[in-house]
Amino acid sequence: FDSERLRFRAFNAEVDVPIFQQWWKDPEIMQYQTPNSIRLFQEETTEERFKSWFRDDDSAVGFVMVLKETEEPIGFINLWGIKPKNQNAELGILIGRKDLWGQGLGKESLRLMLHYAFSELNLHRVTLHVFSTNERAIRAYQSVGFVEEGRLREEIYRAGRWIDSVVMGILKHEYLEQNPL
């Protein structure tokens, strides 16, 4: 499925693994990733590990984001920890093309994924965690309807200082108020 400038496609190991590994070697891209993510990315990432991130089963679904014009991968987005009984999941997103930061592609991909989450998966709630220092991401999340639900104070020590982790969420009815299906 797609939006004005983006298309979500399935993971293609041959094409995507080398690109993702390149992104994960870039400290500027990785500065906002969680400690668990960083540990995974610093290890030699195998094709099987990548496939597990993009599986499509009851607990997770993920997509590679590509520019519609060129079909070039620019990042990935996924829902994980899907709990069908409670109809909730956690969202993760990474835009690896730094030259495209600040152009609204994050918002566009969030809207597309939320539409999928609420219309196709029939989720009731989507949550995410973001570092308090990632102000651009927080603004993007707020612009599509996420609200701050809590804060894990001084959760991570990075670059000589403690950083809070902000918990954000959006409910289906909140999303539908802004974006009718």
Domain boundaries, the chain: 6-178
Over range 80-93, report the average pLDDT.
94
Give pLDDT, residue 57. Answer: 64
- What is the architecture, at CATH level 2, of domain 6-178? 3-Layer(aba) Sandwich (3.40)
**pLDDT digit string (tens) for 122-138?**
999 999 999 999 999 99
- How many residues does the structure list for the chain? 181
- What confidence tens digit (pLDDT) does each residue in 29-86 have? 777 776 555 454 555 555 666 666 665 567 889 899 999 999 999 999 999 999 999 9
Catalytic residues: 141
Percent share of the chain, pLDDT over 90: 65
Residues 86, 77: contact at Cβ < 8 Å?
no
Tell me how far apart the terminal alpha carbons of the chain are, to the nearest angstrom: 15
Other Cβ atoms less than 10 A from the Cβ of 71: the count is 10
Share of the chain above pLDDT 70, in %: 86
CB 109 within 8 A of CB 103: no
Structure tokens at 49: 């590990």
Quick one: tokens of 98?
């730094």
Task: Render the burial of 89-117: b for 16+ CB within 10 Å, e for the rest.
Answer: bbbbbbbbbeebeeeebbebbbbbbbebb
